Structure 1
Amino acid sequence: MKRFTAILMLCLSALILPQAVSASNQERCFRETGYCISGPILRYWERNGGLSTFGFPISNQGMQMAEDRMLQAQWFERDRLEIQADGRVTAGRLGARYLELQDRPWQTFPTVDQADPGCAYFAITRHQVCEPFLTYWRTRGGLERFGYPITERIREEIEGKVYEVQYFERRRMEFHPELAGTPYEVLLGRLGVEVMRIDGCVSLEPMYEPTAYAYRRLLGCPIASSRELVSPTGPVQLRMRPVPLAVQRFERGVMLWTRRWGDVPVPSEIFVLTSSSTDPQRFTWQMFADEWTEGTPIRFSETPPPGRYVPERGFGYVWVHNAEVRSRLGWAIEPEQGETGGHRQFQRGFMITRPSNDTVFIILDGGEALVVPRKN
């Protein structure tokens, strides 16, 4: 009933003037969400269906990571509109991105070799489009607005009710039998709302945003203080916070020492990262408080093999006093190395950067970690 009411409101909204206040003919503001549209995005929004096609704006326009590029973009209930380098406004590939975020990449869906009668076949993705989606696709913008089909027509639960839907590169079409025979029997899914929950995060500084974006499904959005979210000069971009950092590699893992800073500083911590047997970038982690104090000797009677080391200071304290850690890691294969790194807390973990070798430590809630090269 709730979804039907929302659909009915959408239909009525398409027939009447949206509840908007125009500050000028170059801007349109919506009381429903508190956001405004202006410039090229407003012109595109009005020219291509307005409220019934895109829904209300749900963010400000600003620089965002889109398709591995930093672009001016704005989120809507059903879309993300992007201003390309040449000034063109295009729709985001939210259909493909939504499936990817659900661990259902479109390349894994069943395909067909030819079209059924009355349908259109797209050899490039090996999918067909049939009625009523085909007429909607052809009359509402075709390839430019929706992209190629990336699934067949499938049944999917949306807000507690099962609908027949089909995914395209940029959109999801939904068939609503309760509106059959009306112009609104095919509606566009609210993918803008769904994808923005992850991809609509405040961006990191350009050097690290590609890495954060690549692992956003795991990390969630970066966490910012209220001070950081205020920028008098333009869109907010969060910087990595500088932190002291020490790293030492072992035969089967890594030890990482840091003193993280959020709104409140965290005491010094030592993370023990144990290597995965199948993926050199994947680890499990365990955290220890740094209990070593300056001047405390680390005594260990065994002599390391040639080219191996007994760790010292805080690393040595944890390694010597925890036989399980020692068994998991083995001997150190290099001396401890210190530098200034960067830290940023996320919804489901945190990220530590190691500038000396362009490495990023991604520490996830639940005990998993990744050690990856910074993405350009």
Structure 2
Amino acid sequence: MHRVKLFAVAGHQQEVTDEDDEEGQGAVEVEGEGENAEWNIVGEDLVSYESESNRSSTGDQHLWLLRSLRSHCTNLKHLKMTFGRTRGGWDDLYSLKQLKSLHAELHMGDRWCSDFVYNLKQFPCLRKLTLSAVSYSGRDLHVLDQLEYLDVDYCDGLDGKSLADCCQTMKQLRHLDFGCLQNFSESTFESLLTNCQQLESLVFDVGHLDSTVPYEMLCHLPRLRYLNVWTCYLRDSFIEGLMNKQGSPLESLFLEGCALSADQIKHLCNISTLKELRVNCDTVPLEDLVKLKSLLNLHISMPITTGQIVDLLQGLPRLKFLNILDRDDVDKVNLGRSVHTWMSAQREQRRKIKVCFSNSYTDDILWLESSG
């Protein structure tokens, strides 16, 4: 069964909310291969389609879907699908000239991946590309110079030279996401800094880089507002670079993969413009965290107690979402009572806070709301 998301209601295009999706509104269920009745119904109103990801898939079973999309859904703008080596299906894909966003999972070798990517140049409106291709080296990716968003985090074969080539041609790029690249050197970062001055959002992994590669130079990107870094060890010079960043203020910072020291957290909390932060620490530097008065969302992995959670909520007046990672020892009932007591006693504007306890198995969510 494939789920088709519609963004058309009563003759007007309209984005379907998550709540609408949960209730089944704005969605059509399509069953059976070769049956086109459902496609005839949605027709030109269909603008977004996502097929279920399947790691064992070759992509061939989606060929009939592509043929149907080509024939009936000429206004499709967003597509997520798995592709194999059957080139006949590629021709159907390339006929979707209105496509703006493509999430492609490629189950094929490097040469086939290169051919697939090169032919994406046929999409004049394509601005957002997410690629999952384990075997892809990144060859010919640079020809897609119209892209504004590029995610190649799951392209394990991508090398530093290919990324540098992309940086030289993709002058409109606003978001870049890449993982552990092969042959990644200082020159790759220099190319990124020199040619991608317009970047606003950056996600990258430095866990396997040579220790001499100065990745802190990326703190000099003038328009960078969102930064997500995966690393086994974070250098103090990188934190210093973030503190001294010029240009657009840094609003969102995710530091994942390592526990920061209390001193590093202290320095980070001097970045007063932060609205979202994710950090790990073996202690709870509460006094420093509450300095971030602009915070809206906070994700922490720390040995925090119920009392410290309440103090954190009290000290961050704009906080709307607190995500506590990997902590199963917090008494959630006692926490709820403590927070409700505090919120009931305060005489301030009505406030709602979402507290989430996340681990690898499940999420427990508390909605805390003042009655003022």
Same fold (TM over 0.5): no
Q: TM-score range by the shorter chain?
A: under 0.3
TM-score, length of structure 2 as denominator length: 0.22
- What TM-score results when the alignment is normalised by the length of structure 1? 0.22
More helix by percentage: 2
Greater gyration radius: 1
